[in-house]
Every structure is written in structure tokens, then in C-alpha cells.
């Protein structure tokens, strides 16, 4: 890298902040967090959040009544103290602060250290939580189990069925006595209760899982200073007395007071209900929990946590909305409604046919009026049962189950889903716009090359050839111009072996280099000589600090940006040399050479290698029809080198416009021209956050489903504008995370590809269940309607249909929703969001299976007595055996339909079946309970025992359409995975 020690000379730099007010210099002429697009948010959700923001008014006194639970174990004196500390950011704050002797007085009172923080031992943390409360607030609990039971009971068709069952129960008891007469109605009531409980348990468990995921989203990890070291902790572990570093994009984790900082600006819109950026310093030191750091950096002393803050008070009254419906759920609700309407028409037609047959005398009445009444109840009950089966309630349930399953798996793969619909939308992504640093690359940095003067240092920390003046100036700039910190264990030297360095990867690399050069970080930083700080941001691509000891301004930033502002440089002897054209070209060539070697040129350059697995992940995207675009603020040469290393740019691909562009060039184009070239772009270098936003807008105008990664505060607009915003969990700011749909916890591009794979799985699993349920629905309705029209007898009774409904709506949904992603998912092109849910292959599968099943069941219905060798039996018993065989065949048909739905495109339906233990368990459970229902619960289910031959025939009919279930397929599918 080219490290130039120079003076800006006469070159004006508006970005340095000396040509306007502080607000203008910091870029606050407009709200930097104003996001015009609310992507998918409902009016009700926006209203709730707006109310939450407007509840608080900074000018009114802090409210104490909600804090009695926290304070009830404290003495009156302690309670008054806690209240005074909690009221610091509000009301008569200055008077309270003066009472304690200012910030230094609070330091003594809270037994902390403004530089080193608290000791952080467990017993000390426990005492502080006991005295001042923990950084938690009561959550509104989710709906209880009985709420879900009540919701399940509200189903209209189940209510109608319950009324019919009660009437049948009353009639049976009246005519046959309570010992025998309760079987018909009681079995239906029991089946209804079972269905309701299964649905309620399933919904309740999914609700709990979503609440757990929401809790994960709230668990922010922050950095605190304890015992002189910067450590990462959960926001829930923060205590009063902690010292917290604040940087741009952070959320203020608790109420507190400003200790020290530079150009620290806080966005307080979340607390006062209006867009307002407030600069914090010793004159305006109060910080409110929940606000965001808009610019600058600093440290704060925590004075109140949890319910002793206004943010905690507001959030305790907010409940997380877990009722969001994804686009796929909305579409499936529409499909279910239409199918249900068709089913109701069929049920009504069956009712009409049965009524006509009853009044025409074709329905047999065995014993006078009582049987006539019972027959009327049956006529009214069976169409209701058909309606229950016809309505595919399991379709939306299947999406809920597969979303919950996929979200848990994504969490295991280091991806936290913040918005449900992002799961399925990610499966339709056509373009991924990703950052380079930390996403495609490791973001683990060390100094590789250093040019000081016109001399390349070898090794880069060799200072023997430098003058003491130059070396001192260099180390001064390294120590001052960083947000990182250095911790040296007691008794250790500073040779760098045991020194702990914290901060951004860039700062850590520079500090490690400075330590090897002999820098005494604490000695330099302990001198109170900083006049002003110019914070680094992605627009300026540099930051600086003014030192009043000799009025030095130390700059650090993109090498060519810093170089372009220099009029002279300092050689190895410490002499100032004029920066003429020849010398400028020397440094530019040095920067160009290092950038070509994948080195990022800052004040100091470092090697940033590609992450392991990224090249394979990029290739997987390309194979699946998804283009990857690299958007980076780095030098274009560096960006091209990394893009080739990652496989984004092919070695033979033309590395020129429009494949490779710089941000300022893209920015200068008209909307029409941008739209023309946007799909061809592979790499954008030296880009600003606004360039990324323009890129996303252009891609969406072209009809693409765009996924965008981001980590900075200024990435928020692009993350919001994208169809799927993916924030980085390690390097990402809180502003970026709150603007995102999914948080990538390990900052790895390979994890982004895993999320896309799970997103595709959500859509695929939903289609699997749709094929399964529609096949079962149509077959059940058709066989019942045919039988009703031809002989007035229904082969499947109420309890049997409810058992089939349970298999379809719950067990089937659970089995297929948890199907792991198939290997070929990433070999298919993305599915457009408005693509028909039922594909041509699904239509083919359903038509063939429905035709085979209806034919086989009809043969068994109309010729079953002869096929099952029942000619010599009493006709009533023969019909019971035949209907039991039809019921058994139907269930086994649905088992094979369930297995077939796993691989809709595969001839071998057993491929990979041993990976889904839940599916195998469900299939085994259905077969087991089917045996129990027939052989032991006949009185309740109106079935009779079958002999071995009858079992064989009914199962054979149930498997008759599955010629693909051959022994060869079964052997070769299980063998490789065993």
C-alpha cells in the first residue's frame, strides 16, 4: 500500500467539515434514515409502531408507576436513587447530574471506571442487577393453548357436524339405550374432538416456535468495556455501570450519559416521534435507550436498564406480530377457498340425491319411524362430512409448518429470519447484489505491504531505515486515527504476541502493524491532545483526526483518495518533498500493483483472501440461474481481482464496461441507460450506498427478484428497496439489521446461498403437499358422490372420513413440510413469484393418480362382494366387510400418494426417503393406527375385522396404481443412503 504522510496544502476539502456547519459537514441536511418504501408492512403494523414512537415525549417527567415490580425489594433510599438515575435523560436532567457531581461523580457512585469499565465478575453483575434491575422487560405472552382450541372449534363445518353428531347420539340413546346407542354419535364426537385437538396442538407448537425465533431476533450482541477489555455480550447482560463504545449504526442499548467521543450524533426519532439528529457532548450528555448512532463515535456510561428506561416501558406494552401472512399463504388461502366451494357444491348435490332417493322410497327403512329418523340424520350428516373433507384446510397449515421448519434450519445454518415472507421470496431470487469485504472475503486482515516515502518496507514493520520523526508521526496517526483498542495483559510486553486488539478488521490490522513498529498505544492515547475528529464514512471513504500538540491532521482512507489530496510527502529521512507529476505516478503505480494483487489500499494495505467455499457457492448460484453482482467501495482493480478469484468474473470475460463499472460512472447514467446495462454488470467498484440503491431500483424495474447484502448504516435504503434484504450479523450495524429481512449471522456468502436453497424448499414442499391433498380430496369426494348417485350407499362413513381428513390436513402436512431440500433444487431456474402453483407435472401426476384410485375403488365398491368372496355371507355383513376393505384401500392409496409426492419429478420415489425420519415415522404410525381402527375399534368406526385374504386384497388395491414401487427401485434407493 501507499502510505503518504503529507499535507493537504491548498486543496480544499469540503468533506473535512471546514466549509460549513457541523450539520452540513456531517451530511444531515436531510434525514439519513428516511425510507420512503415500507415494503409489505400493513397499515395496522405501521400504526402500532407509530404509536410506540409517539408515546414518549422527552420533555415530560419519567413515569415510575410501571416499575414497582423492579423496585419492590429495595429500600426507600435505593428506590429514590434508582429513580433519579432513571430520570437522567428526561426532565430536570442537568440538576440530577449536578447532584451526583457530573459524570465523574457518577463514576465514583456507581463504582466503575470510565476507561476500564466494571470488573465484570459474576457476583458483581448479580449485585448490580439486584440493585438496579436487569436489561429486560416483560413480554406480552402469546396466545394460550385453549385459545387455539377455541379457534379450531369455530370452523363452521365442524360445528354443523357436531350438531348432527349430537342429534345422532340423542336418537341412539333414546332408541337403543345408553349402553349400545351412543356408538354412532359418540364416535363422531370423539373424532371431531381428536381433529380439533390435533389442529390446536399443531398451531400452538408453531406459535411457540415463532415466539422463540422472535426472541432470537431481539437478542442483540453488543460490545462493552469490562476490566479494560472490549468484550461481546448479550444486550440482556448489560448492567448499570457498564461502559459501552458507540459507533455509527449502533443502537443505544440502555439509558446513559456521554463520557467521551467525537462528532457523536444520535437519531432520536424512535423516542420523540419526529426525525431529529442530536449531537452529543459534555454539554448535551444524555443518551436514551433505543436510539441509533447516526454518525461519529464515543463511549457512554450506563445509568438505567430494562424497565427503568422509557424504551423498556414502551416495548413491554408492544406485542410482536406473529400473524403475518406470506404471499404464498395468501395464494393458498385463495386456492383452498375455491376448492372448498367446489366441494360444497358436490356435498349439496349429494344431499339432493339422497333426499330424492329417500322420498322416492329407494332408501331402505328396516324398523319403522326410528330408522327413518336415523336415516334422515345420516342424510344430513354425510354431506357435511364431505364438505369437511373437501375444504383443504391443510394447505395454509403446510406453508406454516414448512416455514417454521425452514426457519429453524436456517438458524442452524447461521441465518436469522426477521420477516416470514423473505423465506419464500428468497427462493425466487434471480440476482444477488453482494458486498465484497467480509461477505465474499474473510475480512481477516493483516498488513502485507507498506510504502513509506518512496520506499517499500521489507518486512512491512521494519522501521530501522526510518527517521525517528517520521516513525513517531506515523505511530501517532495509527494510534489516534482508529476506533479500535489495545489490551495488554498485566506483566506482558507489547511485542504483539499476547496483545488483544479489538475494532474493525481494518483498524485491527493497522494496530497490529503499529504494535510491531513499537507503538505504545495507551501512552499516545492518554495525551489529551485531540482537537477534532472527522469520522470515516462510505461517502468520503476517509476519516481524520486533528492533534493539537503540533497541529497535525492524520488522515486514513482509500489510498487514491488520500493521495489525491496531498501536495507533498515525507521521505524516509523525515524531509518534506514536493509531490510532482512523476512522484504522483510512482505512488499511483504502487497502488495499482497492490490492488491487482487483491490488496485493499488504505493508508496501509492488507491481504483479504476469498472465503473458503465462496467460489463453490457462486458457481452454485450460476448453475441455478442466479446472477451474482459484486458491489464494493474498493478500488476497481482490487474488485476485479477478487471477482475472478470468487468466480463472479470468468477469466475470459471482458473486464470492461458494462461488465465492470465504477460507481460514479453508473451514477451519472440516465435511468434508461442504467436499465440497458444493469443486467450485464458483474462488478461495481468505488461505489457509494446510493449507487447500490440505484442498482437495485434498476434491477427491479427490469422485473428481477433482487437480494441485497449490506452491513453499513447507509445500506439501509438498498436493503429496504430490495425484495430480500440480508444484513451481516457480525459487521452489520443495528440500522442495517433493522432494515433487513434476514440476518446472516456469520457474514458468509455461502450462507446466503443456503438461505436461497431453503427458500426454494419452502415452495417445493408446499407444492408437494398441494399435490397430495388435492389428490386425496378429489378421490374422496368422487367415490362418495358416485356411490350416492348409483346405489344411495356411502362406502366411507363419518368417522372414517374424519380419520382420512386427519391424515391429509395434519399428518400429511407435517411429513411433507419437513422434507429436506432435494439435491436438484439448485439445478433449476428460479420460480417467478406469480408462477402457477400447480405445474404441468403436478397436473399429470394428479390426473393419473386420481383416475387409477377412482377406478380401483369403484371396482372394489361395485364388485367387492365377489372379489372378497363374500357371496355366502349375510348381505349386511358382506356390505360392512366390503366398505371396510374400501376404507383400508383408500388409506393405503394415500400412503403411496404421500410417498410419491416427495419426488414429483422422479421415477424412483424412494430416493432419499431414509433421510426423512419424520416421514417414515408418520407412515408407520398411519399403518399401525389403521390396523387398530379396523381390528379393535370397529364399534366406534363402523368397521369389521378382515381376514388375511381381505387384508391382502385391500392393500393390493391400495397399491395397485404404484407400478414404480418395484423391489429394484426400493433396493437401489435405500442402499446408497444406508
Instruction: Please tell me whether residues 737 and 762 are part of one structural domain.
Output: no
Most confident stretch, 150-164, 186-200, 752-766: 752-766
- In tens, the pLDDT along 843-896 reads 988 998 899 999 999 999 989 999 999 998 899 899 999 999 999 999 999 898
Q: How far apart are CA 13 and CA 433, in angstroms?
A: 32
More confident residue, 434 or 156: 434
For the stretch 676-693, what's the b/e string if a residue is b when 16 or more beta carbons lie within 10 angstroms of its beta carbon?
eebeebbbbbbbbbebbb
Residue 942 placed within a domain: yes
Residue matched to cell numbers 509531490: 579
> Per mean pLDDT, which range of 173-177, 364-368, 748-752 is the poorest?
364-368
> Is pLDDT of 835 > 90?
no
Residue 513 C-alpha cell reads as: 502493524
**Predicted pLDDT of residue 36:** 44
64 burial (CB, 10 Å; 0-12 / 13-18 / 19+) is middle
pLDDT at position 561 = 72
Question: How far apart are the C-alpha atoms of 484 and 501, rounded to whole Å?
Answer: 7
Q: What is the mean pLDDT of the chain?
A: 78
Whether 747 sits among the annotated catalytic residues: the reply is: no
Q: What is the pLDDT of residue 32?
A: 34
User: For residue 358, how many other CB atoms are within 10 A of its CB?
Assistant: 17
Confidence of residue 19 (pLDDT cuts 50, 70, 90): very low
Q: Answer yes or no: do 774 and 904 share one domain.
A: yes
Q: Give the dihedral of Cα atoms 91, 96, 102, 108; nearest 10 deg.
A: -130
Q: How confident is the model over 774-781, as a mean pLDDT?
A: 89
pLDDT confidence tier of residue 355, bands split at 50, 70 and 90: confident
Question: Please, which pLDDT band fits residue 672 given cuts at 50, 70 and 90?
Answer: very high
Is a pLDDT exceeding 60 seen at residue 496? Answer: no
In a domain, 705, yes or no: yes
Angle between helices 614-623 and 636-646 (to 10 degrees): 80
Which range (180-184, 536-540, 607-611, 627-631) has the least confidence? Answer: 536-540
pLDDT for the residue numbered 312: 81
651 and 538 in one domain?
Answer: no
- Sorted by sequence, the CB contacts under 8 Å of residue 339 that are 6+ apart come out as 390, 391, 392, 774, 777
Tell me whether residue 226 is in a domain. Answer: no
Which pLDDT does position 10 carry in this prediction? 33
| Banded pLDDT at 515 (limits 50, 70, 90) | confident
The predicted structure's pLDDT at residue 3: 39
Confidence category of residue 273, pLDDT binned at 50, 70, 90: low
Question: What pLDDT is attached to residue 448?
Answer: 77
* Predicted pLDDT of residue 44: 55
826, 859: one domain: yes
Q: What is residue 929's predicted lDDT score, i.e. its pLDDT?
A: 93
Query: Are both 885 and 965 inside the same structural domain?
Result: yes
Give the predicted TM-score (pTM) of the model: 0.71
The answer on 761 and 745 residing in a single domain is no
Same domain? For 909 and 773 the reply is: yes
Residue 474 sits at φ, ψ, to 5 deg, of: -65, -50
Catalytic residue among 435, 507, 634, 723: 435
**In this structure, what are the phi and psi dihedrals at residue 629, rounded to the nearest 5 degrees?**
-115, 125
Residues forming a β-bridge with 744 = 415, 728
Higher pLDDT, 269 or 184: 269
pLDDT of residue 926: 92
Let me know whether 601 and 633 are in one domain: no
Q: What does the alpha-carbon distance between residue 59 and residue 522 come to, in Å, rounded to a whole number? A: 40
**892 located within any domain:** yes
* H or E, element range at 223: strand 221-226
Q: How confident is the model at residue 962 (pLDDT cuts 50, 70, 90)?
A: low
Same domain for 531 and 473?
Answer: yes
- Reduced to 3 states (helix: H, G, I; strand: E, B; else coil), residue 378 is helix
**pLDDT (tens digit per residue) in 92-105:** 677 888 888 889 88
Is there a domain that residue 233 lies in?
no
Rounded Cα distance between 897 and 901, Å, is 6
pLDDT of residue 33: 35
Q: Is the dihedral of CA 824, 830, 833, 837 positive or negative?
A: negative
Considering the domain architecture, whether residues 650 and 738 belong to the same structural domain is answered as yes
What is the CA 675 to chain-centroid distance, rounded?
Answer: 30
Is the backbone of residue 910 left (phi > 0), alpha (psi -120 to 50) or beta? alpha
Helix, strand or coil, per DSSP, at residue 962: coil
Residue 54 scores a pLDDT above 60: no
pLDDT exceeds cutoff 60 at 38:
no
Long-range contacts of residues 158-164, Cβ cutoff 8 Å, at least 24 apart: 158/192, 158/195, 158/196, 158/388, 160/384, 160/387, 161/188, 161/192, 161/381, 161/384, 161/385, 161/388, 161/798, 162/189, 162/192, 164/188, 164/377, 164/380, 164/381, 164/384
| pLDDT above 80 for 90 | no
Per-residue confidence (pLDDT) for residue 676, from 0 to 100: 93
**658 cis-preceded (ω within 30 degrees of 0):** yes
280, pLDDT greater than 60: yes
Mean pLDDT of 250-269: 89
Q: Over range 413-422, report the average pLDDT.
A: 85
Strand order in 552-557's β-sheet? Answer: 530-534, 542-547, 552-557
> What does the block give as the cell for 457?
518496507
Answer yes or no: do 769 and 737 share one domain: no
Please indicate, yes or no, whether residues 712 and 629 belong to a single structural domain of this protein. yes
Q: What is the CATH number of the domain that holds 840?
A: 1.20.1110.10
Please state the rounded mean pLDDT for residues 778-788: 86
Residue 366, pLDDT above cutoff 60: no
pLDDT category of residue 398 using cuts at 50, 70 and 90: confident
pLDDT at 532: 64
Percentage of the chain exceeding pLDDT 70: 80
Model confidence over 170-213: pLDDT tens digits? Answer: 877 876 777 777 877 787 788 788 888 887 887 888 788 777 77
880: number of Cβ within 10 Å: 17
pLDDT band (50, 70, 90) for residue 599: low
Q: What is the mean pLDDT of residues 44-69?
A: 41
Q: What is the pLDDT of residue 169?
A: 80
Neighbours of 780 (CB within 10 A): 25
In this prediction, residue 347 carries a pLDDT of 83
Q: Are strands 742-744 and 724-728 parallel, antiparallel or unpaired?
A: parallel
CATH number at residue 657: 3.40.50.1000
* Position 361 in a domain: no
pLDDT at residue 60, as a whole number: 35
Number of domains in the chain: 3
Percent of the chain with pLDDT over 90: 22
Please indicate, yes or no, if residue 300 is contained in any of the structural domains.
Answer: no
- 597 confidence band (pLDDT: 50, 70, 90): low
The domain in which residue 838 lies consists of 756-973
Identify the pLDDT of residue 57. Answer: 38
- Residue 595, C-beta contacts closer than 8 angstroms, at least 6 positions apart: 601, 634, 635, 636, 637, 638, 641
| pLDDT tens, residue by residue, 892-938 | 998 988 988 888 876 667 777 887 888 899 999 999 999 999 999 88
**CA distance linking residue 432 with residue 667, whole number of Å:** 20
Mean pLDDT for 442-461 is: 76
Q: Residue 460 — pLDDT band, cuts 50, 70, 90?
A: confident
Is residue 911 situated within a structural domain? yes
Confidence of residue 63 (pLDDT cuts 50, 70, 90): very low
Residue 628's SS3 state is strand
Residue 603: the pLDDT is 42
What is the DSSP secondary-structure string of 531-551? EEEE---TTT-EEEEEETTTT
* Residue that terminates a domain, selected from 605, 627, 648: 605
- Does 368 score more than 80 pLDDT? no
Domain boundary among 577, 605, 633: 605
Q: What is the mean pLDDT of residues 58-75?
A: 40
State the distance between the two ends of the chain, measured CA to CA, in whole angstroms. Answer: 55
Residue 694 pLDDT greater than 80, yes or no:
yes
Contacts of 916 (CB under 8 A, 6+ apart): 815, 818, 819, 820, 902
Q: Which residue, 714, 709, 729, 755, is CA-closest to 219?
A: 729
Q: Which of 49-53, 575-579, 586-590 has the highest mean pLDDT?
A: 586-590
What one-character DSSP code corresponds to residue 251?
Answer: B
Indicate the residue among 736, 754, 772 that finishes a domain. 754
The β-bridge relationship of strands 606-607 and 599-600 is: antiparallel
Please state the rounded mean pLDDT for residues 643-647.
88
**Inter-axis angle of helices 636-646 and 581-596, nearest 10:** 10
Q: Is the pLDDT of residue 147 over 60?
A: yes
Residue 596 has pLDDT above 60, yes or no: yes
For residues 56 and 552, the model is more confident at 552
C-beta of residue 516 within 8 angstroms of C-beta of residue 497:
no
Among 574-583, 648-657, 838-847, the range scoring the smallest mean pLDDT is 574-583
Place of cell 398451531: 203
Amino acid at each position: 500500500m501507499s502510505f503518504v504522510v503529507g499535507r493537504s496544502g491548498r486543496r480544499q476539502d469540503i468533506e473535512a467539515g471546514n466549509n460549513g456547519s457541523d450539520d452540513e459537514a456531517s451530511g444531515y441536511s436531510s434525514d439519513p434514515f428516511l425510507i420512503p418504501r415500507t415494503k409489505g408492512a400493513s397499515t395496522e403494523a405501521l400504526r402500532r409502531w407509530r404509536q410506540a414512537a409517539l408515546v414518549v415525549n422527552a420533555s415530560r417527567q419519567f413515569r415510575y408507576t410501571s416499575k414497582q415490580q423492579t423496585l419492590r425489594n429495595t429500600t426507600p433510599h435505593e428506590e429514590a436513587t434508582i429513580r433519579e438515575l432513571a430520570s437522567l435523560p428526561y426532565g430536570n436532567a442537568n440538576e440530577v447530574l449536578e447532584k451526583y457531581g457530573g459524570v465523574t461523580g457518577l463514576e465514583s457512585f456507581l463504582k466503575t471506571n470510565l476507561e476500564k469499565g466494571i470488573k465484570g465478575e459474576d457476583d458483581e453483575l448479580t449485585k448490580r442487577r439486584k440493585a438496579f434491575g436487569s436489561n429486560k422487560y416483560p413480554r406480552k405472552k402469546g396466545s394460550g393453548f385453549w385459545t387455539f382450541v377455541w379457534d379450531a372449534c369455530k370452523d363452521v363445518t365442524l360445528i354443523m357436524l357436531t350438531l348432527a353428531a349430537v342429534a345422532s347420539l340423542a336418537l341412539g340413546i333414546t332408541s337403543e339405550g345408553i349402553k349400545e346407542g351412543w356408538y354412532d354419535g359418540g364416535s363422531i364426537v370423539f373424532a371431531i374432538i381428536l381433529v380439533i385437538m390435533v389442529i390446536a396442538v399443531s398451531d400452538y407448537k408453531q406459535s411457540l416456535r415463532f415466539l422463540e425465533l422472535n426472541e432470537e431476533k431481539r437478542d442483540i450482541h453488543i460490545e462493552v468495556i469490562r476490566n479494560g477489555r472490549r468484550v461481546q455480550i448479550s444486550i440482556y447482560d448489560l448492567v448499570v455501570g457498564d461502559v459501552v463504545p458507540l459507533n455509527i449504526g449502533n443502537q443505544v442499548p440502555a439509558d446513559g450519559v456521554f463520557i467521551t467521543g467525537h462528532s457523536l450524533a444520535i437519531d432520536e426519532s424512535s423516542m420523540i416521534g419526529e426525525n431529529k439528529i442530536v449531537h452529543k457532548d459534555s454539554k448535551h450528555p444524555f443518551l436514551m435507550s433505543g436510539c441509533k448512532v447516526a454518525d461519529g463515535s464515543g463511549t457512554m456510561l450506563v445509568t438505567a436498564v430494562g424497565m427503568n428506561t422509557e424504551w423498556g416501558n414502551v416495548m413491554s406494552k408492544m406485542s410482536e406480530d406473529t400473524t403475518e401472512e406470506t404471499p404464498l399463504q395468501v395464494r393458498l388461502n385463495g386456492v383452498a377457498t375455491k376448492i372448498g366451494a367446489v366441494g360444497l357444491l358436490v356435498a349439496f348435490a349429494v344431499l339432493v340425491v339422497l333426499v330424492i332417493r329417500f322420498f322416492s322410497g329407494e332408501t331402505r327403512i328396516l324398523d319403522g319411524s326410528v330408522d327413518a329418523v336415523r336415516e334422515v340424520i345420516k342424510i344430513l350428516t354425510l354431506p357435511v362430512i364431505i364438505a369437511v373433507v373437501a375444504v383443504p384446510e391443510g394447505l395454509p397449515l403446510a406453508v406454516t409448518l414448512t416455514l417454521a421448519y425452514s426457519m429453524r434450519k436456517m438458524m442452524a445454518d447461521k441465518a436469522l429470519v426477521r420477516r416470514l415472507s423473505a423465506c419464500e421470496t428468497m427462493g425466487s431470487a434471480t440476482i444477488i447484489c453482494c458486498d465484497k469485504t467480509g461477505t465474499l472475503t474473510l475480512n481477516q486482515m493483516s498488513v502485507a505491504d507498506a510504502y513509506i516515502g518512496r520506499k517499500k518496507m521489507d518486512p512491512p514493520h521494519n522501521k530501522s531505515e526510518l527517521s525517528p520523526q517520521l516513525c513517531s508521526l506515523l505511530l501517532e496517526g495509527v494510534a489516534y486515527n482508529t476506533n479500535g483498542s489495545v489490551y495488554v495483559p498485566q506483566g506482558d510486553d507489547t511485542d504483539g504476541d499476547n496483545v488483544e486488539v479489538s475494532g474493525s478488521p481494518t483498524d485491527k490490522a493497522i494496530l497490529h502493524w503499529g504494535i510491531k513498529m513499537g507503538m505504545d498505544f495507551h501512552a499516545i492515547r492518554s495525551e489529551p491532545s485531540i482537537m477534532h475528529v472527522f469520522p470515516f464514512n462510505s461517502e468520503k471513504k476517509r476519516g481524520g483526526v486533528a492533534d493539537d500538540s503540533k497541529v497535525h491532521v492524520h488522515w486514513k482512507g482509500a489510498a487514491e483518495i488520500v493521495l489525491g489530496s496531498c501536495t507533498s510527502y515525507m521521505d524516509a529521512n523525515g524531509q518534506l518533498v514536493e509531490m510532482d507529476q512523476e512522484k504522483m505516478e510512482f505512488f499511483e503505480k504502487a497502488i495499482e500493483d497492490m490492488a491487482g494483487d487483491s490488496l485493499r489500499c488504505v493508508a496501509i494495505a492488507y491481504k483479504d483472501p476469498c472465503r473458503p467455499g465462496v467460489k463453490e457457492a457462486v458457481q452454485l448460484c450460476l448453475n441455478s440461474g442466479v446472477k451474482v453482482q459484486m458491489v464494493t467501495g474498493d478500488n476497481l482493480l482490487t474488485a476485479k481481482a477478487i471477482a475472478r478469484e470468487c468466480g463472479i468474473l470468468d477469466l475470459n470475460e471482458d473486464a470492461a464496461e458494462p461488465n465492470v463499472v465504477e460507481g460514479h460512472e453508473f451514477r451519472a447514467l440516465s435511468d434508461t441507460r442504467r436499465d440497458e446495462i444493469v443486467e450485464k454488470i458483474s462488478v461495481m467498484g468505488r461505489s457509494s450506498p446510493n449507487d447500490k440503491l440505484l442498482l437495485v431500483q434498476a434491477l427491479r424495474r427490469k422485473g428481477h427478484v433482487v437480494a441485497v447484502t449490506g452491513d453499513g448504516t447507509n445500506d439501509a435504503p438498498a436493503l429496504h428497496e430490495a425484495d430480500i434484504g440480508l444484513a451481516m450479523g457480525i459487521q452489520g450495524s443495528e440500522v442495517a439489521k433493522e432494515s433487513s429481512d434476514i440476518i446472516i449471522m456469520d457474514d458468509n456468502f455461502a450462507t446466503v446461498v443456503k438461505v436461497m436453497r431453503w427458500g426454494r424448499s419452502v415452495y417445493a414442499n408446499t407444492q408437494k403437499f398441494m399435490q397430495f391433498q388435492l389428490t386425496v380430496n378429489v378421490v374422496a369426494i368422487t367415490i362418495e358422490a358416485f356411490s350416492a348417485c348409483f346405489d344411495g350407499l356411502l362406502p366411507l362413513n363419518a368417522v372414517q372420513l374424519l380419520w382420512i381428513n386427519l391424515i391429509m390436513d395434519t399428518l400429511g402436512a407435517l411429513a411433507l413440510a419437513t422434507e429436506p431440500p432435494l439435491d436438484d433444487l439448485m439445478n433449476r431456474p428460479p420460480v417467478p413469484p406469480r408462477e402457477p402453483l400447480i405445474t404441468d407435472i403436478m397436473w399429470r401426476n394428479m390426473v393419473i393418480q386420481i383416475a387409477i384410485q377412482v377406478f380401483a375403488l369403484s371396482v372394489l365398491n361395485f364388485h367387492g362382494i365377489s372379489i372378497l368372496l363374500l357371496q355366502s355371507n349375510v348381505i349386511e355383513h358382506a356390505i360392512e366387510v366390503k366398505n371396510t376393505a374400501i376404507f383400508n384401500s383408500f388409506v393405503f392409496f394415500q400412503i403411496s400418494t404421500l410417498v410419491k409426492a416427495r419426488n414429483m419429478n422422479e421415477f424412483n420415489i424412494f430416493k432419499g426417503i431414509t433421510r426423512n425420519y419424520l416421514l417414515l415415522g408418520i407412515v408407520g404410525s398411519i399403518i399401525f393406527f389403521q390396523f387398530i381402527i379396523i381390528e379393535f375399534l370397529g364399534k366406534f368406526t363402523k368397521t369389521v375385522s378382515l381376514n388375511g385374504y381381505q387384508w391382502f386384497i385391500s392393500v393390493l388395491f391400495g397399491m395397485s396404481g404404484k407400478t414404480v414401487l418395484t423391489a429394484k427401485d426400493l433396493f437401489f434407493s435405500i442402499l446408497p443412503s444406508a
